[in-house]
Amino acid sequence: MKYLTLLTFCVALLFSTLINAQSVEPAENVDNNIFQFEIETSYTKQEKGIEKMESFTIPNLMLRYGLTNAIELQASAPLVKEKLHSNNTLVHTNHLVDDIQLGIQYELFKEKKLLPQTAFMVRTVIPSSNASFERLSYITALNFTNNITEKLSLNYNLGTLFNRNETTLGYYIFNVSYAPNKFHYFIENSAEVAYNHKAFQNICVGFGIDISSNFTIDFSTTNGLNHNLFAAGAIFIYNFKI
């Protein structure tokens, strides 16, 4: 029973990391022939009963490439250090390459009046060890953007994680961003929903600075609204034309 609880806890943390490792996905693709690096480092702590899991992402590398103006290719491969505590005792420490994600985003509609810019995203989640077709999972999402003013925008995602061996999860992310100058600020609400389970709600706040036209740094903290979760991290974003 102890090992079943541990496994369930680890899977829950994996799903949380999988969905929230990046902030809201923009509906706007990177431009044609633009290659973008997103390097994220983060710390996550989640507690459930006597179990506490700490996770350090060092780093999560996200790659985006504009194949055309309507098609963006995506790939990510995070390096993770995990620590599991039980009754304030360190149970194990693990260094691993987390699940690799390969995906594509296709722009469906441009923004027009109240109609948001809309894109469809699908990613294959490949286990870093013992990979096989039967063990693949898939993330599908509709990503939206509304530019309310020149400085204020709404970005939101509706998605599903299909896992062959675990419960299928639905999720949403809703982000409000304000960019008055080279600094930008955002607040974000996200939730994960599984059948017959309560929705896990998170709130995230952050800010960033545009160092140059192609280099940005973001900082953020996340707290669970109805579960014991804390996360903090930074993302370095750099793009160039090839």
CA dist 64 and 104 (Å) reads: 9
DSSP 134: G
Mean pLDDT by 10 residues, the chain (242 residues): 39 41 81 94 81 79 94 87 64 63 95 93 81 74 95 95 76 94 94 80 94 94 90 93 90
**In Å, what is the CA distance from 160 to each residue of 76, 169, 189, 235?**
18, 6, 16, 24
Q: Which residues contact 234 (CB under 8 A, 6 or more apart)?
A: 40, 41, 42, 217, 218, 219, 220
pLDDT for position 4: 39
In the chain, what are the domains? Answer: 2-241 (2.40.128.130)
pLDDT for position 81: 65
10-13: long-range pairs with CB below 8 Å, 24+: 10/53, 10/84, 11/166, 12/46, 12/48, 13/44, 13/46, 13/53, 13/55
- Kindly report whether the peptide bond that precedes residue 59 is cis, defined as omega within 30 degrees of 0: yes
* Residue 210: strand, helix, or coil: strand
Report the run of H or E that residue 54 belongs to, with start and end: strand 51-66
Nearest 5 degrees, angle CA 177-CA 168-CA 143? 25
- Joined together, the tokens standing for residue 77 give 């491969």
- Joined together, the tokens standing for residue 95 give 């260094």
pLDDT for position 89: 64
Nearest 5 degrees, angle CA 18-CA 8-CA 229? 55
